[in-house]
Chains A and B, each alone.
Chain A
Amino acid sequence: MKTTLPEQELMEKGHMACLGCGGALAMRYLLKALGKNSMFAIPACCWAVIPGVFPYSCMDVPLQYVAFEATGAAISGMEAALKAKGKKEGVTVVGWAGDGGTLDIGIQALSGAVERGHDVKYVCYDNEAYMNTGIQRSSATPRGAWTTTTPVGKTRFWKQTNKKNIVEIMAAHDIPYTCTASVAYPEDLIKKAEKMKDIEGPCYMHIYAPCPTGWKYPPEKTIELSRLATETCIFPIYEVTYGKYKINKDIREEKKKPVLEYLKTQGRFRKLDEETVQSLQLYVDSEWNKLKRKVECFGEDK
């Protein structure tokens, strides 16, 4: 059977991810795109455990495990050292981190790394909570979601604030390339990873990575759920190339699915009331419209 994806595998079998882990699939696709001349830094997150326990590893590329907040700094150091040794040519330096290590504790180092203009690729696989430590909320947790630190209870104590928009924060750093990607659209993900590899300068990719354990849905639904996230416009697939916005998966108004359809599939949204669901629909609509306006103002042909 032939596929449209690169054939090379740089991730061995026997890793430790949960059944249906979106992050495991995302890494596999990324490695196919970037190839063996890639050097990784991975902070505390699920992926600090997924490769396996010493002395085993599923990763066929050089990899340094780093402190939780340090991914941006680690890749800066790697890039500088490779340049100093005359070995940077043809090598892709990658920071691979979860949402916690990117949006929260790691945001400072990430901002610093991209602001300084290092030739590094930062990829965040977003499972929308601190999953490795047991499903605590992060600033990437969507409003309304149950987590162990927003456990709903009797007082509607779900996550109160909207997801921090790290993608736009990265775009606002004026870096050469910022994008979102999803395991539901592997060809798009791989194309974008290849594009990042060829760009010299800091690039940011945000991958939607569903988590059956933390979001409470059957593990075989990961890809379906990813697609639904985009079809409801909750997770738009778009890119910003040298300041120019482009939506890669345009969802036409008549095809746009209601947010409720997405919320219903996951146990973490089980206790939402109608009022909140409506508010979430309004929020998603408004963000989607904002994005479309950005394309109108800053599209590729502008």
Chain B
Amino acid sequence: MKMVLSGNASAAYGAKLARAEVISAYPITPQTKIVEKIADLIANGEFETEFVKVESEHSAMAAAVSASLVGARTFTATSSQGLLLMHEVLHWASASRTPIVMVNINRAVAPPWSVWADQTDTIAQRDTGWMQFYCESCQEVVDTMLILYKVAEDKDVMMPAMLSEDAFLLSHTSEIVDMPEQAEVDEFLGKFEPEQRLDVENPMSFGSLSMPHQYYYEFRYKMAEAMETAREKILDAEREFEKRFGRSYGGLLDLYRCDDAEIVLIAAGSMSSTIRVAVDEMREKGKKIGLARLRVFRPFPIKELRELAKGAKMIGVLDRSFCFGYEGAFFTEVKSALYDMENRPLVKGYVVGIGGRDVTLDVIHDVINDCMVTKDTKDEPFKWIGLKGGEQ
């Protein structure tokens, strides 16, 4: 059934379709419509779930972890400052092996105050052991939420997952969404029934003290293993999803016109769609440009990148965030994944869109032009596009 939904509403419907049993969330712009929509659905008797209206994001995640350990399918949503406040408990979620799914609205981090699109919030969580997906359409948000529950709850994974959508560009933008049928979703996901859980019939302790010589180290290794296992599980889930619902998103690295591309742009989030348009425009002019959309950041698509890099002469990586004291995170990680290759392509970094600075078609063309001009030289490793007061 086709509906017109914003990115926020899509997240709410995703939680409803997934039959999330416990939702604990705290409002923050621009995520508020997610929790409000969920509240509406509950109030109207359309969604049976326990909605804990916690008093902070730290509590939102803490409550979610406990609920998940009891065995409930759990959902939460946040953005920016809220995600940062949750940071400690993000670690708790992954190391407790709780398959929580969270929607984060990518929003700039204060100060100065900004409610606009920026990926700093999720980039700052890349080490927390959460799977990270970036979406570019409202349809993708709904579909990915379902895929994430499937992957996260797999007993060989059991790691939490966050899905990002850009502030306003997706969260408040209405698009057409083809809503999957509930019955089909129920078959796709099944129920969440973890073997190990908080249960008075079978008392266990979760998360006690563990010494240097045993077994903290091993627990962490198992998390690393689970993330590796997730790679294949993501592809499996997406294959099944495509069979049932007819839609697919290209796996971990979503390639667009990369087959013979000489220059490939790598980016995540809503700017990817704009890049598709720029790619088409360049192709019209006979230029061999492609887009490799970073749909999944964790686990990082090493294999897929190396495959892509075999053909491309140059890769331009767009970061909508910056790691002060070094460079953009996507930029660093792309280079690192290609380090061992013989004949690797030139990789250059572009910082765009921080604090909601609009990433227009012109901005993308600036990047593409820069790639074309500098692809045979190595003038500087990265640049900030569109700084007021002149270029960097």
Contact = CB atoms under 8 A, between A and B. Distances in A.
A61 interface: yes
B22 A73 contact: no
Interface stretch (B65-73, B220-228, B256-264): B65-73
A166 interface: no
Contact of B52 (A48, A62, A65, A77): A77
Contacts of B52: 76-77, 80, 116, 118
Interface string A66-89: 110110111111101111110100
Nearest to A75: B66
A109 B198 CA distance: 21
A95 B200 CA distance: 15
Nearest to B73: A84
A277 interface: no
A48 B24 contact: no
Contacts of A54: 208-211, 214-215
B372 to A, nearest CB: 50
A64 to B, nearest CB: 5
A116 B53 contact: yes
Contact of B67 (A48, A63, A78): A78
B375 interface: no
B67 A81 contact: yes
A53 to B, nearest CB: 5
B94 to A, nearest CB: 13
Contacts of B53: 116
- In this complex, the interface size class of chain A, counting residues with CB under 8 Å from chain B, is 35 or more
A17 interface: no
A67 B62 contact: yes
B54 interface: yes
Contacts of B55: 108-109, 111-112, 115
B166 interface: no
A206 B92 CA distance: 27
A37 B204 CA distance: 13
Contacts of A78: 66-67, 69-70, 198
Contacts of A108: 55-56, 59
- Of B60, B62, B71, chain A has the most CB atoms within 10 Å of the CB of B62
Contact of A66 (B21, B54, B66, B215): B66
A218 B204 CA distance: 35
A39 B66 CA distance: 11
A84 B22 contact: yes
A60 interface: yes
Contact of B62 (A37, A62, A77, A91): A77
A67 B88 contact: yes
A112 B57 CA distance: 12
Given A49-B209, A112-B55, A74 B200 contact: no
A82 B200 CA distance: 11
B50 A83 contact: yes
Interface residues of B, number: 44
Given A39-B198, A64-B198, A80 B62 contact: no
B199 interface: yes
B198 A112 contact: no
A37 B209 contact: no
A74 to B, nearest CB: 4
Contacts of A37: 200
Given A64-B66, A77-B67, A80-B63, A48 B58 contact: no
Contacts of B210: 53-54
B205 interface: yes
A73 B92 contact: no
Given A52-B208, A66-B92, A74-B63, A81 B203 contact: no
B341 to A, nearest CB: 42
A41 interface: yes
B209 A64 contact: no
Nearest to A38: B200
Given A36-B200, A84-B50, A85-B71, A77 B63 contact: yes
Given A78-B66, A81-B71, A85-B70, A70 B200 contact: no
Contacts of B199: 62
Contacts of A60: 203
A72 B206 CA distance: 17
A240 interface: no
- Of A38, A74, A91, chain B has the most CB atoms within 10 Å of the CB of A74
Contacts of B111: none
A140 B91 CA distance: 29
A51 interface: yes
A57 interface: yes
Given A36-B200, A54-B208, A70 B89 contact: yes
12 contacts: A39-B70, A52-B208, A54-B214, A54-B215, A62-B198, A73-B58, A75-B66, A77-B22, A78-B66, A81-B70, A84-B22, A85-B71
Q: List 7 A-B pairs, minimum CB-CB distance, nearest first.
A: A77-B63, A112-B55, A73-B59, A77-B66, A70-B62, A81-B70, A81-B72
